[in-house]
């Protein structure tokens, strides 16, 4: 498999964790988001959205991190990233989607750039925007971690799930943007445990081949 990734992309970070967790070997192709390589005609031939990640497998390209991870779960079911019970699966998806659908799209690079350029917002306004959507989502996850985390080490239950795969990159990103995480002690503890696992550690931005 080949993964189109960028070291600081939190959506690509999710897929790197899933690949590592499932012990699937892969190579990385790393368009540089900082210099705009993802917006070239060449890269858009791979992903017309001009976004990473994208996964190349068996002559096909799959885009969207959650679709890629679901695909990986089908082709390599063990270890599973979803619980078998339908209600538990729905809860894991709901937690993951708080991040992937409600926080991340509002705080993506292109959105922040648009706020700065077209909307003429200064750095403080953009940081406030970023923190606002993180805190809305993290507040809900902190509440749900109470009843749904079985051990204080996983967002749902007591094994790694898609919810954890989405949480760790968003925590990394929030720290990078200087968001105060003290209101979320349960999330901090879960993140700390997950980051100690080899699959998560090997997916960290700073250890990626294109990290600068
Ligand atoms: N919903 C997409 C989001 C992908 C996405 O937004 N990727 C970001 C990096 S985390 C990107 O490529 N941004 C480029 C840009 O905003 O110009 C997914 O989950 O894969």
CB distance 149 to 190 below 8 Å: yes
**pLDDT for residue 82:** 98
**pLDDT for residue 169:** 98
List the helix and strand counts (H, then E) for the chain: 10, 4
The ligand 1 site (C-beta within 6 Å) comprises: 9-11, 33, 38, 51-53, 64-66, 100, 108-110
Q: How far apart are CA 150 and CA 154, in angstroms?
A: 7
Q: How far apart are CA 200 and CA 165, in angstroms?
A: 8
Q: Which of 5, 37, 98, 109 maximizes ligand 1 atoms within 8 Å of its Cβ, making it the mutation to test the pocket?
A: 109
SS3 26: coil
Distance from residue 206's CA to the centre of ligand 1 (Å): 18
Give the residue ranges of the chain where pLDDT is below 70: none
State pLDDT tens for residues 192-201. 999 999 999 9
Alpha-helical (H) ranges within 100-153 are 104-107, 109-116, 123-148
Distance from residue 196's CA to the centre of ligand 1 (Å): 26
CB distance 149 to 157 below 8 Å: yes
Distance from residue 85's CA to the centre of ligand 1 (Å): 30
Predicted TM-score (pTM) of this structure: 0.98
Q: How far apart are CA 156 and CA 123, in angstroms?
A: 35
């Amino acid at each position: 498999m080949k993964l189109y990734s960028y070291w600081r992309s939190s959506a690509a970070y999710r897929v790197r964790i899933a690949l590592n967790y499932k012990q699937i070997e892969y190579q990385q192709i790393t368009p540089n988001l900082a210099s705009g390589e993802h917006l070239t005609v060449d890269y858009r031939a791979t992903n017309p959205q001009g976004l990473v990640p994208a996964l190349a497998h068996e002559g096909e390209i799959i885009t969207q991190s959650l679709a890629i991870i679901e695909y990986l779960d089908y082709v390599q079911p063990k270890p599973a990233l979803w619980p078998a019970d339908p209600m538990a699966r729905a809860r894991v998806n709901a937690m993951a989607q708080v991040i992937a659908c409600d926080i991340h799209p509002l705080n993506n690079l292109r959105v922040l750039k648009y706020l700065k350029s077209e909307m003429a917002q200064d750095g403080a306004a953009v940081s406030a925007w970023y923190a606002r959507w993180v805190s809305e989502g993290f507040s809900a996850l902190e509440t749900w971690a109470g009843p749904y985390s079985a051990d204080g080490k996983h967002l749902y239950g007591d094994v790694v799930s898609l919810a954890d795969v989405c949480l760790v990159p968003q925590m990394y990103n929030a720290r990078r943007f200087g968001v105060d995480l003290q209101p979320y002690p349960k999330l901090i503890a879960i993140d700390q445990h997950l980051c100690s696992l080899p699959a998560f550690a090997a997916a960290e931005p700073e250890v990626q081949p294109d990290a600068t």
